[in-house]
Amino acid sequence: MGGDQQNAAAHEAGHAIAAVAFGRTVRALRIGDYPLCVSIRADGAKTPRLGRLVELISGSTCEGIEGRRMFLMSEGTMRQKLAQVRDDDRGSCDRCQEAALLVAAFAGAADDDLVTLWSDAAFLAFLLFRHPTFRASARALSVMLRRRKVLFGDDVAALIDGRALFMAREDVVRNFPLGRLETLL
């Protein structure tokens, strides 16, 4: 299997694992020409912004960890994405959505503060995917996604233990100094 498919599968699996850990239900995962992860809150409740931010970041985090390569964004890129959002010139990529979420959540905050918050959220995502439950879930989902190219909600639910992911997330977050990120809960 080509590296692109492997990376895409790990990326979309990362989104899905984080979504489930923060109480969302995965409806579909797909790799190929238009990779995507569709998740919703089944109970109709709103996902905390920290959960959504970590879900967005977790695609590149999981892809980087599984591919054993760097996945962090430079401060310059963060500032560029923040400027694009403020200029109403953002794209639909994960990074643009992350920047938009931060700008909306911390209206009027200086870029230095947003870059720090963004970096803290990325570090939290990294710590989550260092947890054995997250790693095992991501690998299982990624392998099946590479085989089948498309997975639906029932497929995902059969492969991962949502309760175990929630407990792992609680374990990591309990030991992480959230600081200002706590306002996103």
Task: Please give the pLDDT value at position 138.
Answer: 95
CATH number at residue 121: 1.20.58
pLDDT in tens, 62-85: 999 888 776 678 999 999 999 999
Amino acid identity of 59?
Answer: G
- Report which of 53, 71, 72, 96 is spatially closest to residue 10, judged by C-alpha positions: 71
pTM, two decimal places: 0.93
Number of domains forming the structure of the chain: 1
Strands 150-152 and 36-40, bridge-based pairing: unpaired
Domain that includes residue 174, residue range: 3-184
Task: Please give the pLDDT value at position 1.
Answer: 43
